[in-house]
Amino acid sequence: MNQRERILAVAIGAIVVCMVLYYGVSYVSSTLEARQDIVVQLESDLQKQQNVILKGKKQAARLQRYQEQSLPEDVNVASRVYRDWWLQLLDDSRIDDISVQALPRMRTQSDVFKMSSFTVVGKGDIRQVTKMLHGFYSGDYLHRIRSLRLRPLPDSDDLSISMTIDALSVKGAGNTETMAKRESNVLNLGELDQYEDAIVNRNFFAPGNNAPKFASVREKKIHRGERESISVRADPRDKGQRVQYQLVSHNLPGDAPEVSSSSGTIRLRVEENGEYEIVVLATDSGLPAKTDQITIPISVVDPPPPEPERPRPPSFDDAKFAYVTTLMEVNGTPQLWLSLRTTGETLRLKVGDQFEVGEVEGVVSRIDFDLREVEMEWDGQLHRIRRGQSLGQAQPVED
């Protein structure tokens, strides 16, 4: 074998070795890839099984949570227990004219749960409705408000409330005679007063609230040491509203004045003369409530002097029907005849004679034939009566 043949033989042998190595490596590589695919598939199947197990655990935990949130499993027990829960909520919220009734229809799905429906009606103001809804959503139960209707009642701050509620009874929840207390975390604001601040001071059913308006007042003059009353009034300016009054400030000496919250009447007694002020605030019942304020100037002066006591007029029972009918002389002595028409009697009286007619007790002081009049004294006062007049027509004689 010459040199050329030896080179050719080596080249062919190298090619054969390379081919063997190539096919060997390919075989080993394909075998490894096949096994790797099997490993990958097994790992995928394992992950799926683990996912199934994890999903099952999550579903089991969710089911357990639903069972804890559920109404009692027995729908009859659920209806009774949930109705009692609502009645307590409405009572706590001060809702009036309440009614909670279970609806007869019920929907069942896959034997997993049963849904019961209820109607809730009542009436209350917006603050009470807010408290009721806060209490509903604070309860961590499987229930929802399917419909809610609020309608303002005429000439009132109350709203008519009508709701339809759906609630679930989950299989396996058990049967208890009371709703377990569960606090929900679905409310964004949390505390009731935060919702009242956002909701209560708004009127959803009427134009904007107008502030009340005080009628103008002039300076009030009162007497020192006397019990006085001053009336102030604010017009609510919106139909159906009420106004409440309260004292804001004063600079009166002594006790503070009393202000009636409903009428605005101010009662006071001041023992010192001077110029003072009383400030009163009026607040209406609108939403939001609005106010007006008034300053009342007070001038305290001396009380007037007592009026002189005037003689008491004769009684107008028998006295006003007692007439002087006759003036005459009897044996040289002047005499008058006083006719009592109520009794038919006639009194014959001389100067100095005393008489009593009804509540009048007097004495004859003078009889004047020329002037056709007489003078009589009663209650320390001299009176003049002309013939034909009654005691009730007597005129006081001035000194």
Contact present, 70 and 173 (Cβ < 8 Å): yes
- pLDDT (mean) for 107-125: 83
- pLDDT (mean) for 26-54: 78
CA 278 – CA 297 distance, rounded (Å): 7
Q: How far is CA 101 from CA 42, 298, 387, in A?
A: 58, 61, 92
Where is average pLDDT lowest: 2-6, 89-93, 179-183, 187-191?
Answer: 2-6
State the residue for tokens 């009645």.
87
Residue pLDDT, tens place only, 187-198: 888 788 888 887
Residue 315's pLDDT is: 46
Q: What is the full DSSP assignment across 9-57?
A: HHHHHHHHHHHHHHHHHHHHHHHHHHHHHHHHHHHHHHHHHHHHHHHHH
3-state SS assignment for residue 216 = coil
CA 356 – CA 318 distance, rounded (Å): 10
Q: What percent of the chain has pLDDT over 70?
A: 92
Q: Is 164 exposed, middle or buried (0-12, 13-18, 19+ CB in 10 A)?
A: middle
Residue 317's pLDDT is: 62
Residue 208's pLDDT is: 76
- pLDDT (mean) for 131-142: 91
Residue 88: alpha-carbon gap to chain centroid: 21
Q: What is the mean pLDDT of the chain?
A: 85
Q: What is the full DSSP assignment across 300-336?
A: EEPPPPPPPPPPPPPPSSSGGGEEEEEEEEETTEEEE
Report which of residues 107 and 167 the model is more confident about: 167
Residue 286's pLDDT is: 81
Domain ranges of the chain: 1-67, 75-199, 213-301, 319-396
Q: What percent of the chain has pLDDT over 90?
A: 33
Q: Which CATH architecture has domain 213-301?
A: Sandwich (2.60)
Structure tokens at 73: 């499993």
Q: What is the CATH number assigned to the segment(s) 75-199?
A: 3.30.70.60
Alpha carbon distance, N-terminus to C-terminus of the chain: 190
Q: How confident is the model at residue 371 (pLDDT cuts 50, 70, 90)?
A: confident
Residue 55's pLDDT is: 83
Residue pLDDT, tens place only, 210-237: 899 998 888 999 999 999 999 899 999 8
Q: Is 137 exposed, middle or buried (0-12, 13-18, 19+ CB in 10 A)?
A: middle
**Most confidently predicted of 24-38, 99-113, 248-262:** 248-262
| Residue 184 reports pLDDT greater than 60 | yes
| Residue 52 reports pLDDT greater than 70 | yes
Q: How far is CA 47 from CA 41, 73, 245, 310, in A?
A: 10, 36, 75, 118
| Residue 316 reports pLDDT greater than 70 | no
Q: How far is CA 159 from CA 147, 217, 245, 366, in A?
A: 16, 37, 25, 84
The number of beta carbons lying within 10 Å of the beta carbon of residue 93 is: 20
Residue 86's pLDDT is: 92
Where is average pLDDT lowest: 57-66, 125-134, 322-331, 354-363?
Answer: 57-66
Residue 19's pLDDT is: 75
Sheet containing 96-109, strands listed edge to edge, beginning at the edge strand earlier in sequence:
96-109, 113-124, 159-170, 143-152
